[in-house]
Amino acid sequence: PGGPLLNPLGLAKDIKNAHDWKLKEIKNGRLAMVAILGIFVQASVTHVGPIDNLVEHLSNPWHKTIIQTLASSSS
């Protein structure tokens, strides 16, 4: 971050904070990439989207878990 367009909140005024914020942003981006990979894998295994899986789980949380889903998709 730096400059008026890339730092509108003034979070990177000192260089130590700038490096910390950059590192946090990189880690956040990596976490988001892992999350989207999980969504793609979930969609390929269950053949429905993540919202449908969540709604199905919330409708019966004791019987609609990942273990039952994997067991039913492998057979």
Residue 49, SS3 per DSSP: coil
Q: How far apart are CA 34 and CA 50, in angstroms?
A: 15
Q: What letter does residue 63 receive in the DSSP assignment?
A: T
Binding residue positions: 24-25, 28, 30, 42, 57
Binding residue positions for chlorophyll a: 24-25, 28, 30, 42, 57
- For residue 47, the tally of other CB atoms under 10 A from its CB is 9
The length of the chain is: 75
